[in-house]
Amino acid sequence: MNVLADIAKIFITYTVILFVFLFIVLCCYIVVLYVIDRTQKEHTVRRNYPVIGRFRYFFEHLGEFFRQYFFAMDREEMPFNRAQRSWVYRAAKNLDQTVAFGSTRDLRPEGTVMFINSPFPPLTDESLPPKPIRLGDGYCGKPYETSAIVNISGMSFGAISKPAVRALSHGAKAAGCWVNTGEGGLSRYHLEGGCDIVFQIGTGKFGVRDRHGNLSEEKLAGIAQHEAVKMFEIKLSQGAKPGKGGMLPGAKVTAEIAEIRGLEIGQDAISPNRHHELATSEDLLEMIYRVRQITDKPTGFKAVISSSAWLDELFGLIRAKGLEYAPDFITVDSADGGTGAAPMSLMDDVGLTIKESLPMLVDKLDEYQLRDRIKVNASGKLINPTEVAWALCVGTDFVSTARGPMFALGCIQALQCNKNTCPTGITTHDRELQKGLVVENKQKRVAHYIKNLEKEIRIIANSCGLKRPRDFTREHARIVIDTGRSVTLAQLYPSFQGHPPKLTAPLEGESAVNS
């Protein structure tokens, strides 16, 4: 007992000494901070309230998380509220997606979308899957056919991690949809799952560039040799940062990423704000034709569309040059789009939302009688069944989403995509953080999310009296306007009723490839 008592006394003595020592160190540290804050001239709060003023930054940081989990209501957060994210999480886990008691959504605000139910909907066993759509048929040797409505939008390897790309590839294969590579090039991780792939040609030409940064026809043809690569997309602009290219710092350009992108190890991967060889609409059509000729596969472009005048110019030029110069598809991105990092001025204030740009594009295609030739792919915050069904009503053929699959991978909207500190391992190259993203588990969640999203779109279609989801028209949805009442989308966005512009060349494109 005496021995134990002696040990206890020694332990207490040293604990007190350690406590006193740490207290003295803390006091000295506070004194140093006080002197620094009092004498510095950059921060007013710290100068007037030394030491205490530093807690401001700590609380600002914690505020993001407290708002998300404790203070924000289910439908208040931006860019995606808790209700939107929760639906994706349940769908990704293949859990019950029903809710109880009544809707928490306020159906009165302007812009609210509501679908018009049929008194006699088709029976559940009469519901039919989407019809397949062919792209590039008659204009290239290897047209692409797919039944998928929802697909995975562009996320570059480098911007997202290796396990994230692998999970998306396997998940897309299981769901039967395509994955867009983003502008970072084609990696073996994209190919690993065996899914259909859309190769994006960004302004930096990563993966298909020569040493001068120009488009390499040899490398482009090499990419096209992969059977999994079904289409090519020329990226003009991105919704969250129209008019600005992406940048991957040299510190993140590893040997593997450098090889994929055609760069030197440690070299900044900087995308110009536009393709240097594209200065006019005619240049764009010539590049589409050139890429299609080299790859023999469907080729389209992605752009933020904010001007009907530009569409008049572009589509008028297609009619003049011939349908062989037309894009096989157009991906319309919008101000609703996301990105890893962008200037706030571009993210908040440039570009139109998808609710304006999509109807504008579809109507102009109808006006110029190009709707059958050019397919439409809508992108920008379309992660839930309501938004996708709305886009189908307006006239899109496909929807592409990046942030929906990111939520399925486990994204918690921590808003740290640009800091290499993503806590879920999706947008970080920190190997320790990547360990949390288990590919075998997350690939199933991606597939469940895509399948359940399309399942609920079909449920909405059936409720509206339709057997197939692509049978939606603008008569099947209403939208609340400023008077508080609702009108159909057909009233809000009336389809083109006039006469098409006079043809300057045969519309049927007699010189079309393989026609």
- What digits encode the pLDDT tens for the residues 110-166? 888 999 999 999 998 898 999 999 999 999 999 999 999 999 999 888 888 889 999
Token couple for 16 = 């007190």
d(CA 204, CA 294): 19
Whether the model clears a pTM of 0.85, i.e. scores above it, the answer is no
Q: Which residues pair with 178 in a beta bridge?
A: 196
Q: Which residues pair with 135 in a beta bridge?
A: 144
Place of tokens 């998928």: 148
Sequential DSSP letters for 130-186: PPPEEESBTTBSS-EEE--SEEEPP--BTTB-HHHHHHHHHHHHHHT-EEE--TT--
More confident call, 29 vs 299:
299
Our CA dihedral for 381, 384, 390, 392, rounded to 10 degrees, sits at: 90
pLDDT mean over 57-61: 66
Q: Are 230 and 186 in contact (CB under 8 A)?
A: no
- Kind and range of the H or E run holding 408: helix 403-409
For the stretch 403-437, pLDDT in tens is: 889 889 988 787 777 777 788 888 887 788 888 88
Q: Which residues pair with 152 in a beta bridge?
A: 179, 401
Confidence of residue 59 (pLDDT cuts 50, 70, 90): low
d(CA 289, CA 286): 5
- Nearest alpha-carbon partner for 72 in 85, 91, 59: 85
Place of tokens 């690939």: 443
Q: Are 304 and 378 in contact (CB under 8 A)?
A: no
- Nearest alpha-carbon partner for 297 in 515, 183, 178, 136: 136
Cβ atoms within 10 Å, residue 108: 8
Q: Is the per-residue pLDDT at 345 higher than 50?
A: yes
What backbone phi and psi angles, to 5 degrees, belong to 359?
Answer: -60, -35
d(CA 371, CA 377): 12
For the stretch 169-201, pLDDT in tens is: 999 999 999 999 998 899 999 999 999 999 999
Cβ-count burial 411-438 (b if 16+ within 10 Å, e if not): bbbbebbeeeebebbbbbbeeebbeebe
**3-state DSSP call for residue 50?**
coil
For the stretch 473-507, pLDDT in tens is: 999 999 998 888 999 999 988 876 554 555 444 45
Give the per-residue pLDDT at 421: 78
Q: Is the per-residue pLDDT at 251 higher than 80?
A: no
d(CA 482, CA 62): 37
What backbone phi and psi angles, to 5 degrees, belong to 377?
Answer: -125, 120
pLDDT mean over 71-81: 62
Mean pLDDT of all residues in the chain?
Answer: 85
Give the per-residue pLDDT at 66: 60
Give the per-residue pLDDT at 423: 82
Q: Is the per-residue pLDDT at 344 higher than 70?
A: no
Token couple for 397 = 């053929």
Burial class (CB in 10 A: 0-12, 13-18, 19+), 256: middle
Beta strands in 24-68 (DSSP E): none
Q: Is the per-residue pLDDT at 283 higher than 90?
A: yes
